[in-house]
Amino acid sequence: MTGSGRTPSVRPFLSSSASFAAGDDTPRAFLERCLEAHAAWEPQIGAFVHTNFAAARAAADAATARWQGGKPLSGIDGMPVGVKDIIQTEDMPTEMGSPLFAGWRSGWDAASVTALREAGAVIVGKTVTTEFAASHPRGTRNPHDVKRTPGGSSSGSAAAVGAGVISAGLGTQVIGSIVRPAGFCGCVGYKPTVGAINRGGSLDYLSQSCTGVLAATVQDAWQVAIEIAARVGGDPGLPGLEGPMQPPAPVKPRTLALLETAGWRIASAEAKAALEKAVERLKAAGVKIVTRGSHPEVEAAEQAIAEAVSVSVRINDWEWRWPLNSFHERDASKLSRVMLDRMARTATMRPDDYRAALTERARARAVYAKLAGICDGGLTLTAPGAAPVGLESTGNAVFAVPGSMLGVPAISLPLLREQNLPLGLQHTGFAGSDAAAIGIAAWLVQTLGGEG
Give the shortest CB-370-to-a second copy separation in angstroms. Answer: 22
108 near a second copy, judged by CB under 8 A = yes
Instruction: Please select the residue that binds a second copy; options are 4, 7, 326, 348, rule is CB under 8 A.
Output: 326
Count CB-CB contacts under 10 A for residue 41. Answer: 27
Q: Are 170 and 84 in contact (CB under 8 A)?
A: yes
**Per annotation, catalytic residue among 17, 74, 167, 177:** 177
Q: Is 270 in the site for a second copy (CB under 8 A)?
A: no
Residue in 99, 242, 290, 374 binding a second copy, rule: CB under 8 A: 242
Instruction: Map the footprint of a second copy across residues 129-188, applying CB under 8 A.
Output: none
Nearest distance from C-beta of residue 9 to a second copy, angstroms = 34
Binder of a second copy out of 2, 39, 65, 205 (CB under 8 A): 205
Residue 110 or 168 with smaller CB distance to a second copy: 110
* Cis amide bond preceding 323, omega within 30: yes
In whole angstroms, the minimum distance from the beta carbon of 314 to a second copy comes to 13
**Residues in 180-199 that interact with a second copy by CB under 8 A:** 198
4 in active site = no
- Contact call for residue 414 and a second copy (CB under 8 A): no
Nearer to a second copy, 12 or 323 (CB): 323
Count of other CB atoms within 10 angstroms of residue 90? 17
**Of 67 and 101, which has the nearer Cβ to a second copy?**
101
Contact 241, 197 (CB under 8 A): yes
| Sign of the torsion formed by the C-alpha atoms of 292, 249, 400 and 266 | negative
Q: Which is nearer to a second copy, 10 or 324 (CB)?
A: 324
Please tell me which residue in 16, 17, 74, 153 is annotated as part of the active site: 153
393 tagged catalytic = no
- Cβ-based nearer residue to a second copy, 130 or 198: 198
Identity of the amino acid at 205 = Y
Q: Does 339 bind a second copy (CB under 8 A)?
A: no
Give the DSSP H or E segment for 403: helix 401-406
Q: Looking at 93, 99, 250, 323, which residue binds a second copy (CB under 8 A)?
A: 323
State the minimum distance, in angstroms, from the CB of residue 298 to a second copy.
27
What does DSSP say about strands 188-191 and 168-173: parallel, antiparallel, or unpaired? Answer: unpaired
Q: Is 230 in the site for a second copy (CB under 8 A)?
A: yes
Interface with a second copy (CB under 8 A), residue from 319, 360, 376, 434: 319
Q: Tell me the number of residues near a second copy by CB under 8 A.
A: 45
Nearer to a second copy, 295 or 321 (CB): 321
What are the contacts of 9-12 at 24+ separation with CB within 8 A?
A: 9/164, 10/161, 10/162, 10/164, 10/186, 10/187, 10/215, 10/216, 10/217, 10/414, 11/37, 11/80, 11/161, 11/164, 11/165, 11/166, 11/167, 11/216, 12/167, 12/216, 12/217, 12/219, 12/220
* 111 binds a second copy per the rule CB under 8 A: yes
Q: Give residues with Cβ within 8 angstroms of 329, minimum separation 6.
A: none
Candidate ranges 14-22, 121-129, 322-330, 418-426; the one touching a second copy (CB under 8 A): 322-330
Determine the Cα–Cα distance for residues 195 and 96; give it in Å rounded to an integer.
21
Name the residue nearer to a second copy (CB basis): 110 or 375.
Answer: 110
Contacts 24+ apart (CB under 8 A), 65-69: 66/120, 67/17, 67/20, 67/21, 67/26, 67/27, 68/23, 68/26
Q: Is 153 a catalytic residue?
A: yes
Minimum Å gap between C-beta 221 and a second copy is 19
| Chain centroid offset of residue 440 CA | 17
Q: Does 91 bind a second copy (CB under 8 A)?
A: no
Using the rule CB under 8 A, is 55 a contact of a second copy? Answer: no
Element (H, E) at 297: helix 296-306
Distances (CA, A) of 47 to 13, 140, 148, 206, 392: 20, 6, 13, 24, 16
From the list 16, 17, 74, 84, the catalytic residue is 84
Site for a second copy in 346-375 (CB under 8 A): 351, 354-355, 358
- Cβ-count burial 156-183 (b if 16+ within 10 Å, e if not): bbbbbbbbbbbbbbbbbbbbbbbbbbbb
The amino acid occupying position 71 is K
Sign of CA dihedral 204, 207, 208, 211: positive
329 binds a second copy (CB under 8 A): yes
Minimum CB distance to a second copy smaller for 71 or for 265: 71
Is the CB of residue 246 less than 8 Å from the CB of residue 75?
yes
As measured in angstroms, the least distance from the Cβ of 230 to a second copy is 6
* Whole-angstrom distance, CA of residue 75 vs CA of residue 18: 10
Question: By CB under 8 A, is residue 103 in contact with a second copy?
Answer: no
Catalytic residues: 84, 153, 177
Binding site for a second copy (CB under 8 A): 90, 101, 104, 106-111, 114-115, 117-118, 198, 200-201, 205-208, 229-233, 236-240, 242, 318-319, 321-323, 325-327, 329-330, 351, 354-355, 358
